[in-house]
Amino acid sequence: MILTTNIPVTHTFKSAISEIDFNNLEFGKHMSDHMFVARYADGEWCDPKIVPFADITIAPTALALHYGQSVFEGMKAFKMDDGNISIFRVASHHERLQKSLNRMSMPAIPFSFFDDGLKALVNLDHAWVPEGEGKSLYIRPLIFASEGRFGVKISEEYLFIIMAGPVGSFYPKPLNVKVEDTYTRAAQGGTGATKCAGNYGGSFYPTQLARQQGFDQVLWTDGSDELNIEESGTMNVLFVIDNCIVTPPLSDTILGGITRDSLLQLANDLKIEVHERKVSAFELVAASENGKLTEAFGAGTAAITAPIATITVKEKKIMLPAYSSDSICKQLERRLTAIRTGNANDVFKWNTVLLK
Ligand code: COI
């Protein structure tokens, strides 16, 4: 194993930072100046390096393109009030990445290899961590099968790239969502609990149909007649019913969101009751009719929390009450932001702090 503490760096000739309007950050559009790259060959991870962010060359036969061995993570780094930078829940993201790699028959990445690469990149591109409400440096670790041959097999070669880019708010306004009752995102025993590329590719078609019908996103279900809710678009989903948070329990069809987990821990801390249990779309209709459904929101790294304005279950449209700064989702997001920016004590030890 090659240690990554002295990762060789090739600096960019010309930073692109002056071309960025930090007040108008479209998600995923702008990349920072550098990227971390390592490769897997002959049974080990090797050649870690940081190079200018640029196109890469891969064979048209690269196995990831044909058979989908490709997994990623979504992480964030924040500018703290004292000028330091915090990277959020590195160990939890690494743990989830390992689960994804394992399920997709891809080689594990040692924690120190991951952690060193991440810190080296964020340190080098620290000027790209934006300041201000809702802004952060989104970090995208990506691993894919790079061996060039189209025989159906587990790849023996991989590329591990960490890239990053400044982002602002993911969803500008509360969402109108549709409970998807034709297509499903995941099946029992499948890959739904992993962050593999195919999960996202498979969701585009139903999401596009929903958009054509005027919705922003879909609410995925387990495909049963009960329409038990699973996720919302690319996020986990939480409801407030009778002043308690209700959210589907993790399973092999639901991605274990780090934001979901953080919000549930914060809710416990704030003495808000949490129920991780099945919740059917029809229960949501009934709870709305008797005034008990007061909030519904997505939770994910990119979006943090994404309040939902309406939920359409077959022909029935649930209208959620308006959100205010006292709404549970807003309270939780404020607390999360306070921890990440150093405004509140990091009691859960979530921050990896890089000193300025
Ligand atoms: C995230 O929330 O970080 C995700 O990975 C979901 C999406 C942006 C792909």
The domains of the chain, with CATH numbers, are 17-169 (3.30.470.10), 175-341 (3.20.10.10)
Burial of 277 (0-12, 13-18, 19+ CB in 10 A): exposed
Long-range contacts, stretch 42-48, CB < 8 angstroms, 24+ apart: 43/107, 44/1, 44/2, 45/1, 45/2, 45/107, 45/109, 45/110, 45/113, 45/160, 46/2, 47/2, 48/2, 48/4, 48/7, 48/8, 48/113, 48/116, 48/117
Nearest CA owner, ligand 1 atom 9: 234
Mean pLDDT, 10 residues at a time, the chain of 356 residues: 70 97 94 98 98 98 98 98 97 98 98 98 98 95 97 97 96 95 97 98 98 98 97 96 98 98 98 98 98 98 97 97 97 97 97 94
d(CA 193, CA 186): 8
pLDDT given for residue 5 in this prediction: 65
d(CA 3, CA 218) in angstroms, rounded, equals 43
- Cα torsion 222, 195, 219, 237 to 10°: value is 100
| Phi-psi region at 313: left, alpha or beta (left = phi > 0; alpha = psi -120 to 50) | beta
User: Which residue has its alpha carbon closest to ligand 1 atom 7?
Assistant: 234
What confidence score (pLDDT) does residue 2 get? 40
Helices 258-269 and 90-103: crossing angle in degrees, nearest 10, is: 140
**Cα-flanking dihedrals φ and ψ of residue 98, to 5°?**
-60, -40
Residue 72 Cα: closest atom of ligand 1 = 5
Residue reference for tokens 């979006």: 303
Q: Which of 170, 306, 296, 289 is nearest to 245 (CA)?
A: 296
Pick from 301, 304, 305, 336 the residue to mutate for probing ligand 1's pocket: most ligand atoms within 8 Å of its CB: 301
pLDDT for the residue 163: 98
pLDDT at residue 160 in the model: 98
> How confident is the model at residue 3, as a pLDDT?
41
The confidence score (pLDDT) of residue 200 equals: 97
Question: Is there an atom of ligand 1 within 6 Å of 300 CB?
Answer: yes
Distance in Å from the first CA to the final CA of the chain: 30
For ligand 1, say whether the CB of 68 is within 6 Å of any of its atoms.
no
Question: Partners of 276 in the beta sheet?
Answer: 247
| CA 290 to ligand 1 centroid distance, Å | 34
Phi, psi of 170 (to 5 degrees): -80, -50
For the chain, strand residue ranges (E) read: 34-41, 44-52, 70-72, 75-79, 85-88, 136-145, 158-167, 175-179, 217-221, 229-232, 236-241, 244-247, 274-276, 293-300, 304-313, 316-319, 351-354
- Cα of 340 vs its chain's centroid, Å: 16
Query: From the CB of 327, is ligand 1 less than 6 Å away?
Result: no
DSSP 253: T
Question: How many whole angstroms separate alpha carbon 325 and alpha carbon 334?
Answer: 9
Our answer on whether the CB atom of 280 is closer than 6 Å to any ligand 1 atom is: no
Q: List residues bridging with 158 in a β-sheet.
A: 40, 145
- Contact (Cβ atoms closer than 8 angstroms) between residue 284 and residue 301: no
pTM of the model: 0.96
Beta bridge mates, 293: 241
Q: Give pLDDT, residue 194.
A: 98
